[in-house]
Structures are given as C-alpha cells and as structure tokens.
Amino acid sequence: MSVRRTCLTPLFCRRCLYRCDHPLGLVLDDEGICSGCRIHEEKDSLDWTARWERLKALVKPYRSRDGRNYDCIVPVTGAHDSYFIVHVVKERLGLNPLLVTYNKYFNTELGIRNLANLRIRFDCDILVQHVNPASVRRVTRATLRQFGSIYWHCFAGQTVFPVQTAVRYGVPLIIWGAHQGIEQVGMFSHEHEVQMTRRYRKDHDLMGQEADDLLSMFDTLTEDDVWQYRYPDDGKLDDVGVVGIYLGNYVRWDPKAQHEQMMAAHGYRTARFARTFDAYDHVDCFNYLHLHDLLKLYKHGYSKVTDHASREIRYGRLTRAQGLALARRHEQQPPEYVDLFCEWLGVTRTSLQFLTDLHRNPEYWSQPEPGRWTFRGWSTLQDATTVADDGTTACAFAATDVMDSRDQPSYIIVGKGHP
Ligand SMILES: [Zn+2]
C-alpha cells in the first residue's frame, strides 16, 4: 500500500515535471511518483478492447430511433482533439452528431479553416454560438482585472454551450474527448468512468467562479452579459437526462499520435509556437499559447510547455531532462499577438502590462527594481545537473502551416467558412 504525501513541502514528481502544488491537485506516492503518472500507467495495463465494447454498449440507447434527431452532441473547435473525437463518434461508433462550437473571438485563420474542413470532411451539422461581442469584452475586462484571466469566457462558453444545446434540442448524450483532471493529475482512474459535472466545471474550468458570481462581483456587468454562460438547472438536465461522457475513459488517449493520424487522414493543419514545442493543440487561437499562457506562468509558476513536456515524458517520447530543457527554453519566450488583443479589448499595452503584473504570484516572481522581474518558478527549482539541452529529442511535431497575423489587423470575429 503506497503512502500518499501531502504537499506541505513542495516536491517534484520524479518522473514528470509536475509539483505537488499543481492547481488541479496532485499527490506523490512513497516512490515520489505523482498521481498523474500513476494513472497514466493504466494506459498500458487496461484492456482497451473491452473498454471499447463498454463504450459501444453505453452509447447504444442514445441512437435516435427514427432518425429525426441527432444521436449526440460533440463540442468542437478548430483545434484540440476535435478531429479525432468526431472521427471516433461518426466513423467508428456510427453515430450522427450535432457539432457545437463557442466562438471565442480570438480566432486564427488556421482555426477557421480547420473547423470548416472538419464539418465538410465528416459531413456534420454544426451550431455556432456567437455571444454579443460587447458583452464578451466587458466580461473579459472584469475577469482579467479580478482573476488575471482573459480566458474565463472561453472556458465558460465552451463548457456550457454544449450542455445548453443538449437541453434545447433534447439530445441527452454529450461526448467529450479526454478529461483534463485524469490526463494531467490522475484525479480519477479511467475505470471510474467519470462523467461531466457542474462541479468540476466550476472548480477547475472556471476558477471557482460561475456566471452569477461575476454578476455579484462586478457592477460593470449586468444580466445581459452573463446569462449565456449560465449552466442549465438540474430540473432541465434531469428532464432531458443529459449525460456527458469522456472518450479517454474508453480509448487509449494519445493526443500526439491522434493528431498525426488526423493530419494524414483528414487534413488537420498545424503551426509552430514560440512558447511550446507542441505544434498541434490550440492553433485556432491567438491567445491560448501566448498571452493566456504567460498569465499561467505569472500565476502558477509554470506554463503550457510544462504540461506538454510532462505528457510526452509519460508516453516515453521525452526524457525528464529533455522535458525540463524544453520548458526552460520555451517558457520565457515573449507572447505574440498582444497588439491584436489590446485592439480587441480597447486597452493600451502599458495598461495591459500593469494589469497582468498585478497577477504575478510573489512565490515565483520578485521585482528587484521597478520593471525588472526575477523568475523563481518550477523549472528553476529542479536539479540542473541532469539537463541535456542540446535541442534534440525523439519527440518531433510537424507544422504544416505558419501562424501569421501580418495581414490581419484584428481578430476574425465571424468566420465565413472555407472553400
Ligand atoms: Zn508525474
């Protein structure tokens, strides 16, 4: 029986780059291996053929009997694991999904192209939710100021619009990709087959703040600004029998391999980023791997490249030393496309910097003199003697496209699709 340690003294996992004060919650066992790494081991021990059969049985009752409604709802974007999820749902399970997407407004041309190609390739209907842009800006100003987050509206919209659509269309089954709490920190075993909950969304996706909490917190916001982000009440969810399942509990999840399969089979396109080595996720957004990622570094002392490196270490495609070298190389890269964001939000770069500096966590950042910051985050606290930073790894990501905003003075607010 392994002994679980609490995180009184922050300790790093001996296998991946996570520390026991990970914001999603993580524990180390008596061998110094984290819960995320331990649950990852299930990927090589579970009987995935049997789990696939469980999934087939699970979705069977949700097939529309007369073909007059959709079988399920699949939340998608122009990136993430959208292609693979739709591939599994439509081509392998034979379900007829309604795709839904929340317009987060930070759209890249590549993301709009990927999303258009997705619905054409897989021959699916799609619903797009465009919340009034003035409200989205007001909400973003408020969450940036209060929580140092420019992404609250994106997380809120992406996680609630599929649930609202399930209720409105009377389609109870929502199919998500992987559960972030399982993939990153091993919050649950795959065998628990956890489903979507209101609670997880609030605690982790929304930083503990529901739409109504914003309303009571900010006198700059009104009911008109937040109602679109409100989770349906339990009575409505029960009437329709809404359930949200995660494919990662039934399919051996491997985002890198899946993206490469989708690039070859369905024309998913990718781009390289300065702040991480993973060229596959988040190509639909100008901010997720730039300004949003920098704010993650300010607040939590690590950024997305540490998530990507920890994931690749677990799959055996990076050594720990290589992962740490990649984290150090990428995490201090300056974010790009900040002017696009300032133009959209209506703030100057100086006032944005002032606002974001307020959210630098003093545990990781100190200011020896005005305007000069010293970083003491996760990557600086690990043993450097084992780091081999020769820039070579067996973990190659292929970029098909180059992200470019030179011809784009502002965000593409509404994408018309793609030929
Ligand atoms: Zn670990």
Q: Calculate how far, in angstroms, residue 248's C-alpha sits from the geometric centre of ligand 1.
A: 19
Among residues 244, 97, 254, 127, which one has the least CA distance to residue 175?
244
- Phi first, then psi: give them for residue 287, nearest 5 degrees: -115, -30
**In this predicted model, which residue has the larger pLDDT, 399 or 7?**
399
> Does the pLDDT value for residue 101 go beyond 90?
yes
- Note down the domain range covering 240: 47-249
Categorize the per-residue pLDDT at 1 as very low, low, confident or very high, splitting at 50, 70 and 90.
very low
Query: 259 in a domain, yes or no?
Result: no
Same domain flag for 334 and 356:
yes
Same domain flag for 221 and 174:
yes
Tokens 């999820």 belong to residue: 85
Q: Calculate how far, in angstroms, residue 30's C-alpha sits from the geometric centre of ligand 1.
A: 13
Query: 81 in a domain, yes or no?
Result: yes
C-alpha to C-alpha distance for 280 and 272, rounded to whole angstroms: 8
| Radius of gyration for the chain, computed over Cα atoms and rounded to the nearest angstrom | 21
Q: Calculate how far, in angstroms, residue 15's C-alpha sits from the geometric centre of ligand 1.
A: 5
**Average pLDDT of span 7-11:** 77
Q: Calculate how far, in angstroms, residue 277's C-alpha sits from the geometric centre of ligand 1.
A: 19
Q: Calculate how far, in angstroms, residue 312's C-alpha sits from the geometric centre of ligand 1.
A: 11
Query: 88 in a domain, yes or no?
Result: yes
pLDDT single digits (tens) 269-309:
999 999 999 999 999 999 999 999 999 999 999 999 999 99
pLDDT single digits (tens) 206-233:
989 999 999 888 889 999 999 999 999 9
Q: Calculate how far, in angstroms, residue 357's C-alpha sits from the geometric centre of ligand 1.
A: 30
Least reliable range by pLDDT among 307-311, 328-332, 352-356, 394-398: 394-398
C-alpha to C-alpha distance for 171 and 70, rounded to whole angstroms: 7
Same domain flag for 191 and 177:
yes
Say how many C-beta atoms besides its own lie within 10 A of residue 92's C-beta. Answer: 12
| Alpha helices, H only, 46-151 | 48-59, 82-86, 109-121, 133-147
pLDDT single digits (tens) 245-259:
999 999 999 999 999
Same domain flag for 279 and 191:
no
Query: 406 in a domain, yes or no?
Result: no
Among residues 294, 301, 275, 295, which one has the least CA distance to residue 365?
301
Q: Calculate how far, in angstroms, residue 14's C-alpha sits from the geometric centre of ligand 1.
A: 7
C-alpha to C-alpha distance for 269 and 19, rounded to whole angstroms: 33
Same domain flag for 35 and 62:
no
CA–centroid distance for 167 within its chain? 24
Same domain flag for 92 and 197:
yes
pLDDT single digits (tens) 16-27:
999 999 999 999
Helix or strand (DSSP H, E) at 223: helix 223-226
Q: Calculate how far, in angstroms, residue 18's C-alpha sits from the geometric centre of ligand 1.
A: 6
Coil, strand, or helix at residue 100?
A: strand
Q: Calculate how far, in angstroms, residue 6's C-alpha sits from the geometric centre of ligand 1.
A: 15
Coil, strand, or helix at residue 166?
A: helix
Same domain flag for 150 and 6:
no
Q: Which residues surround ligand 1, an ion (CB under 5 A)?
A: 13, 15-16, 34, 37
Same domain flag for 325 and 194:
no
Q: Calculate how far, in angstroms, residue 86's C-alpha sits from the geometric centre of ligand 1.
A: 30
> Does the pLDDT value for residue 3 go beyond 50?
no
- State residue 385's pLDDT score: 54
Residue type (1 letter), 278: D
Query: 37 in a domain, yes or no?
Result: yes
Same domain flag for 33 and 55:
no
Query: 170 in a domain, yes or no?
Result: yes
Burial of 215 (0-12, 13-18, 19+ CB in 10 A): middle
> Does the pLDDT value for residue 50 go beyond 50?
yes
- Phi first, then psi: give them for residue 20, nearest 5 degrees: -70, -10
Tokens 């100021």 belong to residue: 145
Query: 358 in a domain, yes or no?
Result: yes
Same domain flag for 176 and 122:
yes
Residue type (1 letter), 309: A
Q: Calculate how far, in angstroms, residue 316's C-alpha sits from the geometric centre of ligand 1.
A: 12
List the CATH number of the domain containing 62.
Answer: 3.40.50
Same domain flag for 93 and 219:
yes
Number of domains the chain is built from: 3
> Does the pLDDT value for residue 165 go beyond 50?
yes
Same domain flag for 197 and 315:
no
Query: 110 in a domain, yes or no?
Result: yes
Coil, strand, or helix at residue 287?
A: coil
Among residues 251, 236, 85, 65, which one has the least CA distance to residue 174?
85
